[in-house]
Amino acid sequence: MCGIVGYIGPRNTLGVLLNGLSTLEYRGYDSAGVSFIQDGKLELVKKKGYVKELRQAVAEAGYTLDDKHTNRISAGIGHTRWATHGAPSDENSHPHMSMNGKLCVVHNGIIENYAELRSFLKKKGYVFASETDTEVAAQLIEYYYRLNDCSDINAAVRRALKDIVGSYALCVLCVDEPDRLICAKKDNPIVVGIGNDENFIASDVTAMIEYTKNVVFLEDNCILTMTRNSIEITDVYGEPVEYSIDEVKWDADSVQKGGYAHFMMKEMHEEPKVFDATVTPRIKEGDIYLEHFDVTEEYLKDIHNINIVACGTAYHAGCIGKYLIEKLCRIPVVIGVASEFIYSDPIIDEHTLTLVISQSGETLDTRNAMKKAKDLGSRTLAIVNVIGSTIAREADNVLYTAAGPEISVASTKAYTCQLGCLYLIALKFAHVLGRLPDEQYVRYQQELIDIPDKLSEILSRQKEIQRFASKHFNADSTFFIGRGLDYFLSMETSLKLKEISYIHSEAYAGGELKHGTIALIEDGTLVVSTITQDGLVPKMESNIKEVATRGATVLAIIPKRFENIKFSCNEKFIIPDSDELMAPILGVLPCQLFAYYMAVYKGCDVDKPRNLAKSVTVE
Ligand code: AGP
């Protein structure tokens, strides 16, 4: 959701900016733009559409993107916009130039009091060229800059921020200070990349790992002044703020497709490797270690309930986490979607542990839910993929998933890794509480260690799923049904299908169908039924029979040991056997592949589905 890049250094600035924007495409956007100071003049190119159109517009305007040419640009900023205030259009695209052409601004977030500020500025004679909230920031900064007699752009930004209510990652380029960028951050991420005689800023590290791995995560309410060889961070009063430089472990290849047609396919193929990287290093000599989190019996006895907050796919992982924790640890767990949690009146206190699950670590709804839980006294443990992200920094403890960068908007490998962490937590807690005997504890650990090979086995048979999808991609509606753990898995796979193929889809608990939804089943309705729980086979077979009798086409996903059971389905996909508790980690993969192929056959933009953004940083 919106992406920012900025660069000062000897490379071809436009090349760095446009490559960075291409890397940030996955966040979701509808227009893009760049602004830079070339030979002392402030230049601006922006367009509705994708980065490739912007690239063309830049070239048509005569600016060089060729590395061999001397870099005549002293500093530049770029932006991908996901429309909030004002429709996608050239005018509403960022950067926004102030009325007198002094400065350009890119912004992620929302300026809540923009209407009030706009009318204030209009009274001062400012004329607006767009409908956006961001343009207000550009004009306001310029207003204070001129009022201060053009002394210092940093001071003008800090003064403007006093008037601005809302959230922002803001980056400002001023023609009078051609060798520096000023950034401000509140509730939206900004990462600073430290290079050798060059510096970068971006919304996330993926846009800069090609050039540097040394980064500083800007904290809320901080102002950055960046030149080619210096960074200075202050608070809003101009007082210096200390910072540390972190090293990013991800490599540049991880943000390339690596020969796959889509990032989503590449990321599904990474599942065996990243699940292993998430789980195996935490299992040593028959025990589980959750780094930086000392899980003692005393600590756990003091936890009376667990609360889980997350959104979308991460929420679905949390549903499985709730099941596991309650089953293995006998601790009551409440789970809620983060966006609703903030309106609820939860029963939470210092004896609550809140699990916060997020791939990006930046989802605003999840951040707000975590804040609410903390305000009520809860302890927090975050399961996060992006190192140094806001949720990771703000939680009491963090357990990182080792999924690496997830570029496709549809989350696949991050979900599998989130499950990995939730299994580790549930097993560890249960063992420490004395509710899981040693022998079973060790057996479950081995089950987790064996998962990657089984995932690889599923991937080696992806053609079976492809064949099924090739016959049914025209379906108007698909139902995913399951019971117990398989129902929670179905919630995730249904989301996957709808978000990338735009096919209407519902997840239903098998037993719930006859309470209403079965009325929707008719000739040709597609039903995907995952059946992995031994005790639930007869009941699921009844559900399959019920929908098949009414004309549904059924794909059953079952473990090898059920191969000879007669189900009333049209086709079966066999997953390797595992303990039934672990089955969701395997059962999800064929469904992700199914969603992928359905979307591909429908001709959808798999990695960048319409209307969606990867990192949802607005409420
Ligand atoms: C998953 O495919 C989604 N696109 C979406 O539901 C996502 O899981 C959700 O927005 C939460 O994101 P997060 O994990 O980064 O917090």
**pLDDT tens-digit readout, 546-599:** 999 999 999 999 999 999 999 999 999 999 999 999 999 999 999 999 999 999
pLDDT at 603 over 70: yes
- For 122-143, how does the pLDDT look when each residue is reduced to its tens digit (9 = 90+)? 999 999 999 888 899 999 999 9
Query: Average pLDDT in the 389-418 region?
Result: 95
pLDDT of res. 615: 75
Amino acid identity of 34? Answer: V
Cβ proximity of 5 and 192 under 8 Å: no
Confidence of residue 92 (pLDDT cuts 50, 70, 90): confident
Cβ proximity of 154 and 127 under 8 Å: no
Smallest CA-to-CA distance from 482 within 474, 494, 496 is with: 494
Smallest CA-to-CA distance from 255 within 365, 164, 386 is with: 386
Query: Average pLDDT in the 299-321 region?
Result: 97
Average pLDDT of the chain is 93
Cβ proximity of 451 and 578 under 8 Å: yes
pLDDT at 105 over 90: yes
Whole-angstrom distance, CA of residue 300 vs CA of residue 47? 54
Verify whether residue 2 is a known catalytic residue. Answer: yes
Confidence of residue 67 (pLDDT cuts 50, 70, 90): low
Show the ligand 1 pocket: residues with CB < 6 angstroms. 311-314, 358-360, 363, 366, 409-411, 499, 612, 616
Quote the ligand 1 centre to 311 CA distance (angstroms). Answer: 6
Tokens standing for residue 34: 């760049």
Cβ proximity of 600 and 592 under 8 Å: no
- Identify the burial level of 236 via C-beta atoms within 10 angstroms of its C-beta, where 0-12 means exposed, 13-18 middle and 19 or more buried: middle
pLDDT of res. 577: 97
With tokens 């806001």, the residue in question is: 390
Which among 206, 359, 412, 618 is the best mutation to test ligand 1's pocket, defined by most ligand atoms within 8 Å of the CB?
Answer: 359
Closest ligand 1 atom to the C-alpha of 414?
Answer: 14
Classify the phi-psi angles of 33: left when phi > 0, otherwise alpha if psi is within -120 to 50, otherwise beta: beta
Percentage of the residues of the chain whose pLDDT score is greater than 90: 82
Whole-angstrom distance, CA of residue 472 vs CA of residue 83? 34
Smallest CA-to-CA distance from 168 within 216, 203, 215 is with: 203
Which among 309, 320, 387, 411 is the best mutation to test ligand 1's pocket, defined by most ligand atoms within 8 Å of the CB?
Answer: 411
With tokens 């549903």, the residue in question is: 319
Query: Average pLDDT in the 368-390 region?
Result: 95
Q: Angle at Cα 484 formed by Cα 561 and Cα 443, nearest 5°?
A: 55
Quote the ligand 1 centre to 312 CA distance (angstroms). Answer: 5
pLDDT at 168 over 70: yes
pLDDT of res. 517: 85
pLDDT of res. 249: 84
pLDDT of res. 241: 96
Whole-angstrom distance, CA of residue 530 vs CA of residue 382? 29
pLDDT of res. 149: 63
Percentage of the residues of the chain whose pLDDT score is greater than 70: 99
Which among 267, 313, 412 is the best mutation to test ligand 1's pocket, defined by most ligand atoms within 8 Å of the CB?
Answer: 313
With tokens 């066999």, the residue in question is: 574
Confidence of residue 69 (pLDDT cuts 50, 70, 90): low
Query: Average pLDDT in the 173-187 region?
Result: 95
Cα dist from 386 to 36, 159, 188, 287, 397, whole Å: 29, 32, 14, 26, 14
Confidence of residue 147 (pLDDT cuts 50, 70, 90): confident
Query: Average pLDDT in the 213-224 region?
Result: 94
Whole-angstrom distance, CA of residue 414 vs CA of residue 268? 10
Query: Average pLDDT in the 378-389 region?
Result: 94
Quote the ligand 1 centre to 96 CA distance (angstroms). Answer: 29
pLDDT of res. 70: 63
Query: Average pLDDT in the 196-224 region?
Result: 94
Distance of CA 422 to the CA centre of its chain: 18
Query: Average pLDDT in the 305-321 region?
Result: 98
